[in-house]
Chain A
C-alpha cells in the first residue's frame, strides 16, 4: 500500500481534471455523459483500445526522454524537435538504402537515435558549455527542427506523386508488423484495423532499460547525482558538464521510438506535422509518473487513452476540439505541481480534527 501512495496524488489530480473538464463541456452545452462514453469506447472496444495503445507508444518514449533529463536536473521541452530530427534521419535511411530485414531495421533505428541524440546533445552542449538556459534553447531548437523537417520532406525525399507534403514510402524491409497481423498468425482477431504495432514492445523494453540505467549503473548514478546536487557532485569528481550532455543525448535518442512507431510501424512515410504534440505531452507523462520509468508506462497509457478519448469526442460532438486534452494536461500539471501545499493543508486539517 505504501508503494502505491505516491501515485494517489497524481491519480486524484487526473480525476479532478476530468471533473473540471466535464463542467467546462456542460457549460459549453454538451451532454454530461460525453466524456464517459468516449472513455468507454476507448477501453472496451478493440478499435478504441488499439488506437489508445498506438497513441501511448510514442508517449512512453517522450515521457522517458523528459524523465531522463529531469533526473539530471534539466527540463527538456525539446522532445518535439528531437523526434522530428529522428524521423528525418530514419526516413533518409529507409528511403535510400535497400537492405535485407536483419540489417535494415537495426540500422534505421540506429539512424533515428543518432538524429534525435544529436539534436538533444546540441541543447545539452549549449547548456553545459555556454550556460544558455535549456528551456529557451530547446524551444528555439524546436522551431528550427520544424523548418529542417519541412525542408527535408520537400527537397530530400519528397513523393512527387501526391499533393500533400510527404516523403516517399520507405522500402518494404523497413516495415514493422502490426499487432493485428501478429495475432492473425495465431488465429485471433485483435486490434483489427488499428495501427498499434510491435514498437509497443520496444517501448516497454525501453522503460525497463532506462530504469536499469538510472538506478543500477554507475553512469546513471552520476546523472542522478548531478540532478540531485550539482555542487556536491563536482566535489566528488562527477562532471556536471559531461552528465548534462549525456542526459540530453539519451533524452534525444529516446525520441527515436516515436519515429519508429509512426514511420516504420504505421504510415511508412514521413508526413509533415505528424506528431500531435507527443513531445509536449511527454512532460505531463513524466510529471505524473514522478520521472519513474516504470510509472511512465502507466501514465503514458493514461494520456494515450485520453488522446483517443478526445479524438472520439471530436467525432461525436460539434463543439469539442482535440485541444481539450491540453486543458486536461494543464489542469493536471498545475494540481500535481502544487502537491506540497495541498497535502500540507490537508494534514493540518486532519490534525485539528484529532
Chain B
C-alpha cells in the first residue's frame, strides 16, 4: 500500500509538470497539444547530456533548453505565423517523434534507446530530516526525488502567480480578453510568447524526470501519451492549478495501480494484462466524459490574435 502511494507520487510528477506547464500555455489563449513532444525532446537531451557529462544537473539544464526551444517552435508557428493551433501542435509532436530516434541513432547507432546512465550519476531520493522519520507518511512524502517535491509545490506557486500577481492578471487577460489587454497597452503576442516559453520549461522538467530521475535512459516514445493525459488533467481541473493537482494525483494513482496489478499473481492468471495496461487511458477517458461537468476553456483559446 505504501509502495503504491509512493509510486503514485512519482508517476504523478511528470503529469504535474506537464499539466502546470500546459496551464500557463493554455490560459494565455493558445491551445497546446504539443506537451507530449516537448516532454519527449527534453527527455532525450537530458538523458544524452547526463550520459556524456555524468552530471544530472547539466542534463536537466539541457532538457530545459531543448524543451523551451521546442515550445518556442509552437509559439512561433502559432503567434507569428498565425498557424492553426491544433495543427501546429501536431507538427511539433511529429517533429519530436521523428527527431529523437533519428538523433539517437546518429549518437548511439540505435533508434530505440540511449545507453543507461550509471546509478551514481542520476538523481536520488532526498530524505528530509525529522519529517521522513514520521511513520508511514514520512516515507511517502518526505523521502522522494527532488523533482517530486518541486512538482508538489508547483500548483500552489502557479495559483499564486496566476491569481495574486500583476503578471498573472496579464496571463488571464491574454487568454480570456486579449482585446481588453491590448486596449490597456499590453502586448498580447509578447505575453503569450513568454508564458508559452515558461510553460515549455515546466513541461520539459517533466520530460527530464522521465529519463534521468524515474528511469536511467531515454527510450523511444517514452512519454507514452503522458502529455495528453496531462492535458486531460488540466481540462478535468477546469484550467485551474489546484484542482489540476488532484487530477494529476488521480491519474498518477491509476498508472501506479496498473503497474502494480500487472505483477499481481492472483490477477494475471485469470485476467488479460492488456486490459490492465489500458486502464489509465480508460480511466482518463471516463473521467473526461462522465464526471467532468462544465469545464470552460479560456475564452479566446484556439483563435488567432492579429
Contacts and interface: CB of A to CB of B under 8 A. Distances in A.
Interface stretch (B43-51, B92-100, B174-182): B92-100
B281 A77 contact: no
A330 B88 CA distance: 9
A132 B281 contact: no
Contact of A75 (B86, B98, B111, B282): B86
Interface string A324-340: 11111111011001101
B235 A319 contact: no
A132 B83 contact: no
Given A148-B274, A154-B272, A334-B83, A28 B106 contact: yes
Contacts, number: 126
B88 A319 contact: no
B278 A143 contact: yes
B109 interface: yes
Contacts of B101: 321, 323
Contacts of B77: 334, 337-338
B243 to A, nearest CB: 17
A27 B284 CA distance: 42
A44 interface: no
B259 interface: no
Contact of B281 (A28, A140, A333, A342): A140
Nearest to A344: B82
Given A126-B289, A139-B228, A334-B91, A327 B98 contact: yes
Interface residues of A, number: 48
- The dominant DSSP class at the B interface is helix
A176 interface: no
Interface string B57-101: 000000000000000010001001111101110111011011101
Contacts of B292: 130, 132
21 contacts: A130-B290, A132-B289, A135-B86, A136-B33, A136-B228, A136-B231, A136-B288, A137-B288, A137-B289, A140-B232, A141-B285, A143-B281, A150-B274, A151-B272, A155-B272, A323-B101, A323-B102, A326-B95, A334-B83, A334-B88, A337-B81
Given A319-B106, A327-B102, 5 more contacts: A126-B289, A146-B278, A147-B275, A151-B272, A341-B81
Interface of B: 33, 73, 77, 80-84, 86-88, 90-92, 94-95, 97-99, 101-102, 105-106, 109, 111, 225, 228-229, 231-232, 235, 272, 274-275, 277-278, 281-282, 284-285, 288-290, 292
